Chains A and B, each alone.
Chain A
Amino acid sequence: EAGVTQSPRYAVLQEGQAVSFWCDPISGHDTLYWYQQPRDQGPQLLVYFRDEAVIDNSQLPSDRFSAVRPKGTNSTLKIQSAKQGDTATYLCASSLDGGMPETLYFGSGTRLTVL
């Protein structure tokens, strides 16, 4: 079984540039999460979907960040105008709703550096 796939692996930007991150979850997993993990901190939820619906995006900076999962499978997270404070690893995870225990399977992440 293939795991969660993310790309790109690394991204380096100047402030003000845009970037998109892509995630392919485990086949059949209906729930998809995007987390931001600054260095030496735990993952912090940005947004999560069940199928194509956004369940919680309350932590997503909506003025610059957006996330979609149009067909309930792959997902894209976009930063419109990056800031130095966005420097972090962006982790995608998927799970099966109702699975016990509900285990999140994480991708390898995209390590973003904003100069």
Chain B
Amino acid sequence: GQGVEQPDNLMSVEGTFARVNCTYSTSGFNGLSWYQQREGHAPVFLSYVVLDGLKDSGHFSTFLSRSNGYSYLLLTELQIKDSASYLCAVRDDSGSWQLIFGSGTQLTVMP
């Protein structure tokens, strides 16, 4: 069936990096987005990818492999304020073209 899967939790250390993984299985594919959601706040758009490979956007980079149904969000030079939930969302290209969200990965950045 359709789904977007993410690990529940991830911990890393300030000044290092964190890689947030996402796997998906959907009816067709029309792009994958990453959103950041802080506790008690709305999701905020970070990145969108539709082609394979690594998209470097500085603090946030995104990798996509469509053949493997896999993406990751890479955060470098972590700061404490990067602690948040990171949501992966895939848009299928069948039916209503809805955006299917994963359950999010809670990243905790430790001093």
A interface list, Cβ under 8 A from B = 4, 33, 35, 40-45, 48, 55-56, 58, 91, 101-109
Q: Interface of chain A, helix or strand or loop or mixed?
A: loop
Number of B residues with CB within 8 Å of any CB on chain A: 24
The distance in angstroms between the C-alpha atoms of A44 and B87, with both chains bound, is 12
Contact B103 A42 (CB under 8 A): yes
Q: A55-B96, A101-B50, A104-B43 are in contact. List 17 more A-B contacts (CB 8 A).
A: A33-B99, A40-B8, A41-B104, A42-B87, A42-B101, A43-B43, A43-B101, A44-B101, A45-B98, A45-B100, A56-B95, A56-B96, A91-B42, A103-B48, A104-B33, A104-B35, A109-B42
The distance in angstroms between the C-alpha atoms of A102 and B91, with both chains bound, is 10
Q: How far is the CB of A17 from chain B (nearest CB, A)?
A: 24
The distance in angstroms between the C-alpha atoms of A105 and B89, with both chains bound, is 14
**Given A42-B87, A43-B87, A91-B42, A104:B103 Cβ within 8 A:** no
